[in-house]
Amino acid sequence: MNFEAANFETLNFETLAIHAGQEPDPVTGAVVPPIYQTSTYKQDGIGGTRGGYEYSRTANPTRTALETCLAALENGARAFAFASGMAAEDCLVRTLCRPGDRVLIPGDAYGGTYRLFDKVFKSWGIEYEPVLQTDLGAVARAAAAQRPRLIWAETPTNPLLSVVDIRALAEIARQHGALLVVDNTFASPYLQRPLDLGADFVVHSTTKYLGGHSDVIGGALVLKDERHAADLAFNQNATGAVPGPFDAWLTLRGVKTLAARMDRHCANAARVAQALADHPAVAAVLYPGLPGHPGHEVAKSQMRDFGGMVSFRLAAGEEKAVEVCGRTALFTLGESLGGVESLIEHPARMTHASTAGSPLEVPPDLIRLSVGIEDPDDLLADLYQALD
């Protein structure tokens, strides 16, 4: 691709995923951005950096390639990559909030996000309030009463798959002087672009669909505009939770196939969700693609498709749910999600154990599936043998 001639504004998602930030190496013509496995850079006289690179905590060309690509995919002004999703969240909150500030978090937030607010930020004077964000009236009332600095949203949520109306939340945030953050990990920018819907910031665990191959931990922040870019760049460097060049490279390599993988994740998940809905052992299926899901219409209005995550509740209760998690063969029992291989887990005892006894506790009979891109007939056969 001729990058001089290319106008990124006119390019479509699949093209940006493969080309944005990834121009052939100017020295060798390498088509894939090299892994710049270096901590430091020669200066041509003091301050004479080549392209601004001086030390890899501050900036590294492989990381720059990833950040440029992520900004393009989310249609944001800037992106910052981190060593994990939690590091990205930590940097964002510590950049935007001060002691005494308040944050509204989802009533069914990802367990790690809840733990960060409850166990870390609270002791530094940042208060949080969990509010079920599918109840927009409750969010508006909490925002009016608390004047939060941030409204933190996740959609679809982990692991209950509730869908919140990003446009409506953005309007509430605007009315009450708050900034809207959307954790877009479950949807990925291919399915949903929160900044286009009015959010100020997007957060990712790039460990999941963006990386896509369960071989790297990473996180990212994407900003709608440049307003907080200098402060975030300062804190990214000052606190230093950056990904190494190889991790940035692996993530970028995953991103190239995001669109193709997501199409297959969505198609497989839709089949799995329908099969579970028809199964007598299953009490409820939580999947935004099912017409009976309470967030189905909102999901249709803000997502390209419904994603690869499916949760379901077993009629026979917790012990049976634990048993089923141990009986699948293709669905590997494990934490995390968004990789090409299918995973199964029991949120109450695994990913969301930190919410036990809190208002965010998840149902004990719940099973969460990350539906991979294997043959769907094989996946269904595996689930049937585990359930029957």
Ligand X SMILES: Cc1ncc(COP(=O)(O)O)c(C=O)c1O
Known catalytic residues?
Answer: 57, 110, 183, 208
**C-alpha distances in angstroms, 5 versus 2, 9, 64?**
5, 12, 21
| Residue of the chain from 35, 77, 112, 283 that contacts ligand X (CB under 6 A) | 112
DSSP 100: T
Instruction: Please report how close the Cβ of residue 313 comes to ligand X at its closest, in angstroms.
Output: 19
DSSP reduced 3-state for 282: strand
Point out which span in 58-66, 106-114, 189-197, 275-283 binds ligand X (CB under 6 A).
106-114
Binding piece for ligand X, criterion CB under 6 A, among 79-87, 168-176, 278-286, 320-328 = 79-87
Site string for ligand X, 211-230 (x = CB under 6 A): ------x-x-----------
Joined together, the tokens standing for residue 216 give: 């790297």
Report how far residue 374's alpha carbon sits from residue 337's, in angstroms, rounded to the nearest whole number. Answer: 14
Instruction: For residues 158 and 185, give the distance between their C-alpha atoms in angstroms, rounded to a whole number.
Output: 9
CB-CB contact of 20 with 33 (8 Å): no
Query: According to the binding rule CB under 6 A, does residue 354 interact with ligand X?
Result: no
Reported as type and span, the H/E element at residue 283 is strand 282-286
Give the number of residues in contact with ligand X, rule: CB under 6 A.
15
CB of 309 to ligand X, least distance (A): 9
Bridge partner list, 312: 285, 367
List 22, 56, 62, 84, residue binding ligand X (CB under 6 A): 84
**CB of residue 184 vs ligand X: minimum separation in angstroms?**
9
Lookup result for tokens 């141990």: 326
Say whether 73 sits in a helix, a strand or coil: helix
User: Minimum CB separation from ligand X for residue 23, in Å?
Assistant: 28
Q: Is 85 in the site for ligand X (CB under 6 A)?
A: yes
Count CA within 13 A, CB hemisphere, residue 89.
26
Does 86 engage in binding with ligand X (CB under 6 A)? Answer: yes
Minimum separation from the CB atom of position 312 to ligand X (A): 18
Residues that bind ligand X (CB under 6 A): 84-86, 110, 112-113, 154, 158, 183, 185-186, 205, 207, 217, 219
